[in-house]
Amino acid sequence: MNNNLTSLSLFQKTLLSLIPTALLITFCYFWADPAFAFWSDHENFRQFPIFDYFTHIVDAIVIWSVLYYGYFAYSFSKEKQQSLKKGLNSSTHAWPSLNVANSVSISIFIKDALKEPFGRYWPNTWTNNNPSLIHDHAYGFHWFHKGVIYQSFPSGHTTVAVAMMVALWLSFPQSVVRYLGVLLGSAIIIGLLADNYHFLGDCAAGAWVGATVAIYVTAYSKKVRLPTF
């Protein structure tokens, strides 16, 4: 019963959090997004390579998650064999790092699923002369359109960054690593906005998706019993 109540409460809070998020995205769409994109382009932040380097932190996060699954699978199998030989049942909580890897992986799947329904143009032109606000004054959502030119919303990099950041914050409450997560996540978002890879609204939506996934993964991991290594 308590678990059901907890799940219901979490779901209600998730729905409530959609209201300020939607309002923020709406404000960004009509006012902040175009203004910030043109300002960033005018200031030419792309001349500073460090901002582009920031965005590639996501690549390292994804690679780490993949490698971690391999490490976890090997260690879990090894521990299970030892437990069977001893006739013992594992009864400790899942690894905190597994929450991070799961949050990153699930958030990638969800952000990819959301891009096609929203179908938003990018702030700038990056590939195959894609229409964009800066280059063509093309702006807006094109619902249920396929193709890379319609995949600005939500920001996948922000989704992964915030999923990692929130999962670290919730899973390592006594560790300095949670502050490292905030630093890396913030750097990624700054790089995206400075180089006009995404609109502010894209990042707001990505942050909501990433944070929501991490909160659910962390909450439900407490109900799963896995070996500690």
Local mean pLDDT, 10-residue blocks, the chain (229 residues) = 62 94 98 97 96 98 95 75 46 70 97 96 90 95 93 97 97 91 97 97 98 94 52
Q: How far apart are CA 164 and CA 142, in angstroms?
A: 29
pTM score above 0.85: yes
* Any domain includes 228: no
Q: What is the pLDDT of residue 79?
A: 61
Q: What is the pLDDT of residue 129?
A: 87
Q: Helices in the chain by DSSP H: which ranges?
A: 2-27, 33-43, 49-55, 57-86, 96-118, 133-136, 156-171, 177-194, 200-221
- Show Cβ contacts of residue 41 under 8 Å, excluding neighbours closer than 6 positions: 124, 134, 196
* Any domain includes 164: yes
Domain count, the chain: 1
* Any domain includes 137: yes
Q: What is the pLDDT of residue 74?
A: 84
Q: What is the pLDDT of residue 6?
A: 62
* Any domain includes 227: no
Q: What is the pLDDT of residue 223?
A: 63
* Any domain includes 142: yes
Domain housing 65: 17-221
Q: What is the pLDDT of residue 80?
A: 57
Q: What is the pLDDT of residue 90?
A: 43
User: By C-alpha distance, which of 38, 33, 50, 84 is closest to 204?
Assistant: 33
